[in-house]
Structure 1
Amino acid sequence: MPARVSASASEVATRPRPGNAQRAAPSRRKRLVARQRAASRQRRPGREDERATAGAPGAASGAAAELRAVRRPGPAALRSLPRHLLLKHLVDFTHKVAQKFVFEGKHEEAIPAALHSLRFSIDTCGPDSVELVPAYLILAEASTGLGHLTQAEEYLSQAQWIVLKTSDCSNGIQSKLHRNLGLLYAAKGNFEESLYHLATDIYFASCAFGTHDISTSGGYFHMANVFFRQNKMDIADSLYTEVTDIWHAHFSRLIQVQSQTLTSPAEINILSEEEEISEEPLNEAQQAEASQVLNAILDIREQAPKQQPAKTANVVHALAMLHYLILDLPKAHELGMKAFLITKQLPNQDASEAINHLLKLIKSKLFYTK
């Protein structure tokens, strides 16, 4: 991997490895297209996983609660929707369920939801639409998590084939495709190829969402994991710090938005003239992703031979804000106190003031919910 790709988080965020357009020679591209065409002529993707899942009691029972609404008639409002709108709702619902399972590490349970999402997408848009790519990518990620790398490669071939045929494919879709390719190559132990695809993921995600958006942070996190496995700890550490800072800043903005809603109308008008702050609340998939990523980073921080209390406190503070936002107030208070005690030992007390403010918010909510 060239040194400029691994130099720093900010450099990685602004560009993929040079030569992206020229990297695949014509002969290689022809082989890729031929392999993808062959894959598309094979059995309908997912049947092997569907049969395996049907025989796995744990997966079936775990996913049943989430998918029950798909298998039986829903509320009257849903039943009255036109068929294309109902199918779109089902695509979105099953996709979110599958994504949540993947972030929670429940890869086997994600397969049925992702298969439903794929089928509803085919019914809605046809078998060659770019709208099928998100379902293929979740199936690939779940298969990679299960160690079914051949199956994951097949799903990714289907997704690549569709993206190659789509001239105006969005940066967001291309980001997710390269992220999954990076995960696949990392699982195979091909770290150079993995870092190339993860750098490309970060490039497209930065174009779509910005370099410091939570949608981009996943690329930093997976790239940090690869460097960690290569024992390149300085680079991994800087990327883990970048991921933590992105989530920390995002949670801080969400709490600030919540605080604004508690102020008087006059104060809100004054604030809105100075700066309008608007953030969408966390959905379940984002909650699961934040929890999985930040807890993984916290484990690494706490087990590191050389302790860095300031960075550890920042991760714990971010987790405390996450639990506050999802109204898990006892856990938020526990983590907030842990972060506060760590920061009290530091010479710079700015972080402890912010944590103390969070603790006051937690205590006020705990008081009103009793």
Structure 2
Amino acid sequence: DVDHQKADWVSIHEKICQLLIPIRTSFPFFNSEKERKHGMEQLLHRKKHLVDLTHKVAQKFVFEGKHEEAIPAALHSLRFSIDTCGPDSMELVPAYLILAEASTGLGHLTQAEEYLSQAQWIVLKTSDCSNGIQSKLHRNLGLLYAAKGNFEESLYHLAADIYFASCAFGTHDISTSGGYFHMANVFFRQNKMDIADSLYTEVTDIWHAHFSRLIQVQSQTLTSPAEINILSEEVEISEEPLSKSNFQYYYYS
């Protein structure tokens, strides 16, 4: 309908409209196999760029809590991924996970479960799936079951999230802290305050250690404490400035 078309335009189409033109334009006649191969490589490169762009836009909307706006961008990312890599590629999983997260945020739990089932099926069929991807999958499953009130199933998946995140990043990495945080929330909802407090403390300790390392690195290069900026992009430990969106990334992605 009109509202959905408007949301699609605001969300992503306006950003990719010009990029779609060379992809949707018919191939010219090539004089040689070399030219044809070069043309195909250029087309593939453009499609991969669109996959990356639409994924980043969708992720940004999710970080900002704009779940409805995230859906069209994530759907475009999924379509371009299928077109580029095929329907069973691991490259589709990030798009499915964002679609699931956005759907969960909108309260569309059945739709979220369908997206996660697709992602889970691909992961199960892939022998070399990374620990990072499996962590994100289980985190999304944990959040879905928490939203449905199935706390035991939620805790199972959040425990798996922590395990795979620990394998990928380490037990005390900020990327792992999200699993502890969501698990603490589940125990809090179960009124198991001792366990929840213990997990919240673990999260706090992880971030305290992270900030301490950032300050230590910067204090070695700055002349006075007043110049220390823990949000600087120049710190090698963290490539991005730490903002509300960054916190959400570690907790929800």
- Equivalent pair of 1:36/1:157 in contact (CA under 8 Å): no
The runs of 5 or more residues in structure 2 that have no matched partner are 8-35
Q: How many residues align?
A: 220
Q: Which SS does the other structure have where 1:263 is aligned?
A: coil
4+ runs deviating over 4 angstroms: 33-38, 71-84, 263-281, 363-370
Unaligned runs of at least 5 residues, structure 1: 1-32, 39-70, 85-89, 282-362
Distance (Å, rounded) in 1 between the aligned partners of 2:37 and 2:142: 38
Distance in 2 (alpha carbons) for counterparts of 1:73 and 1:176: 36
Q: Alpha carbons of 1:240 and 1:267: their partners in 2 closer, same or farther (altered >3 Å)?
A: closer
2 CA distance for matches of 1:80 and 1:251?
A: 38
Return closer, same or farther for 1:110/1:156 CA change in 2, 3 Å cut-off: same
Distance 1:116 1:136 in 2: 11
SS state of the match for residue 136, structure 1? Answer: helix
1:369 aligns with 2:227: no
The alpha-carbon deviation at position 264 of structure 1 amounts to 12
Q: C-alpha distance in 2, partners of 1:174/1:76?
A: 31
TM-score norm. by structure 1 comes to 0.47
Among all aligned residue pairs of Structure 1 and Structure 2, give the percentage whose two residues are the same amino acid: 90
Task: Call closer, same or farther: CA 1:80–1:256 in 2, change over 3 Å.
Answer: same
Work out the CA distance in 1 between the residues paired with 2:251 and 2:190: 49
Flag the 1:129–1:171 CA change in 2: closer, same or farther, 3 A. Answer: same
- State how far apart, in whole Å, the 2-side matches of 1:270 and 1:111 are: 33
| Secondary structure of residue in 2 paired with 1:270 | coil
Superposition deviation, residue 161 in structure 1? 1.1
Contact 1:171 1:207 in 2 (8 A): yes
Q: Output the TM-score relative to the length of structure 2.
A: 0.67
Relative distance call for 1:159 and 1:268 in structure 2 (3 A) is closer
3-state DSSP class of the match of 1:274? Answer: coil
Partner residue of 1:75? 40
> SS state of the match for residue 211, structure 1?
coil
Task: Return the alpha-carbon distance in structure 1 between the equivalents of residues 150 and 251 of structure 2.
Answer: 53
Contact (CA 8 Å) 1:257, 1:279: kept in 2 or not? Answer: no
Quote the offset at 1:109 in angstroms.
1.9
Higher relative contact order, chain-length normalized (CA < 8 Å, sep 6+): 1
Q: 1:103 to 1:37 in 2, by over 3 A?
A: closer
Summarize deviations over 1:132-155 as a string: whole Å, max 9, x none: 101101100110111101100110
User: Aligned pair in 2 of structure 1 residues 208, 35: CA closer, same or farther (>3 Å)?
Assistant: farther
| Alpha-carbon distance in 2 for matches of 1:113, 1:175 | 23
Task: Quote how far apart the aligned CAs of 1:98 are.
Answer: 2.2
Distance 1:156 1:37 in 2: 27
1:254, distance to aligned residue in structure 2 (A): 2.7
Q: Which has the larger radius of gyration?
A: 1
Q: How large is the Cα RMSD of the aligned pairs?
A: 9.7
Give secondary structure in 2 for the equivalent of 1:127. coil
1:215, CA displacement in angstroms? 1.1
Shift of the 251–155 alpha-carbon distance from structure 1 to 2, 3 Å rule, reads same
Superposed CA offset, 1:58-87 (max 9, x none): xxxxxxxxxxxxx99999999997977xxx
* Aligned residue in 2 for 1:161: 121
